[in-house]
Amino acid sequence: MAVSKEYRDYILERLECAGPAVGKNMFGGVGIYLQGLFFALIAEDVLYFKVDDSNRPDYSNAGMEAFKPYGDRGQVMQYYQVPIEILEDDDNLRIWINKALTVAGEKSKAKKKGLKRRN
């Protein structure tokens, strides 16, 4: 899941249209955080955003694929490839980022709620 420095820098620069994004190395890829939420990742120089049923149709309608870290026979993760035309358009990119942040925020709330129940 190697990520080139040039692609990482390019993506972090593009994401600045929605605020300061932070990239953290993880498992050979890059996890991307904005507003304290893990909402995107880069693997093999491809950008993926967090999805659920609320925004998955945007990606499916654009013909984008889910992130499959172990190939076609492995697990499908809830991240989908961002279309290049979205990545190159600040206005649309902000919309897609905000949707991914909403999904990440909901997942984070659910996780925290589950942890409180266990205590």
Predicted pLDDT of residue 38: 96
The parent domain of residue 94 ranges over 5-118
User: What is the tens place of the pLDDT at every residue in 40-52?
Assistant: 999 999 999 999 9
21 neighbors 15 (Cβ within 8 angstroms) = yes
List strand residue ranges (DSSP E) for the chain, in order: 22-26, 29-34, 37-43, 46-50, 79-81
Q: What is the mean pLDDT of residues 85-113?
A: 89
User: In total, how many domains does the chain have?
Assistant: 1
> Hey, which residues does 40 pair with through a beta bridge?
32, 49
Q: Can you give the pLDDT at residue 113?
A: 58
Model's pTM, two decimal places? 0.88
CATH number, position 91? 3.30.1460.30
Q: What is the pLDDT of the chain when averaged over all its residues?
A: 90
Residue 11 has pLDDT above 60, yes or no: yes
